Amino acid sequence: MTAVLAACALLAAGCSTGSGAVNQQNGGDNRYVAGDGKSQQFAPGDRKQAPAVSGTLLGSGKTLSLGSLRGHVVVINYWASWCNPCAAEAPDLEQVYRATKGQGVRFVGVNIRDQHDAAAAFVQGRGMTYPTYFDPAGKVALAFRVVPPNTIPATIIVDAKGRIAAVQRGAILADKLRPMVEKVARGD
């Protein structure tokens, strides 16, 4: 009987935590999930209203409401400083922001699951000039229940009427993003 109990204890020990245990967090503390690179675009008649969100801006500490941008196409990009695809797409996002802001397009970044200093350094190091929510708890992302940005990076395009026009799960480059933004800006 003692031998059976000892064998069971050894088997149970093999399933416990330790250096050889399986990482239950699947991606570390940040629970990173890579996007599949697919995008969804919605015809004007099929678009759902974007949620009323607001948040604190990184750097200034001011509050920005998404509703205050009504009348403009808004590109919302979810990112984190520790996310390599986010770093890779950052120059392209800035390029499209600068190229389309004259057409009434606004960009808002959403930094999630991050430390304030790391997020600020990311913005400064990549020359990002559009406002960014500092949202370490992911509350802004959670508000988008219709098309949840459940990957990092993720980009959502909201039309001038405040409706979700497109979502991209995964990194996006300028040659794909700019035509999508301009199509929504034209009212398509």
pLDDT at 28: 42
Assigned domain for 67 exists: yes
Q: Which domain holds residue 110?
A: 38-186
Nearest by Cα to 168 from 182, 154, 181, 186: 154
Nearest by Cα to 172 from 79, 98, 110: 79
Please name the residues in contact with 10: beta carbons below 8 A apart, sequence gap of 6 or more: none
Assigned domain for 59 exists: yes
Q: Which residue has the tokens 């499209």?
A: 96
pTM: 0.81
pLDDT at 117: 96
CATH code for position 53 = 3.40.30.10
What's the pLDDT tens digit per position in 141-170?
889 888 877 789 999 999 999 999 999 999
Assigned domain for 3 exists: no
> What φ, ψ does residue 92 adopt, rounded to 5°?
-70, -40
pLDDT at 18 over 60: no
Q: What's the total number of domains in the chain?
A: 1
Average pLDDT over residues 130-146: 91
pLDDT at 20: 35
Assigned domain for 74 exists: yes
The per-residue pLDDT of the chain, averaged, comes to: 84
Assigned domain for 10 exists: no
Which pLDDT band, with edges at 50, 70 and 90, does 49 fall under? Answer: very high
What's the pLDDT tens digit per position in 81-102?
999 999 999 999 999 999 999 9
Average pLDDT over residues 34-54: 88
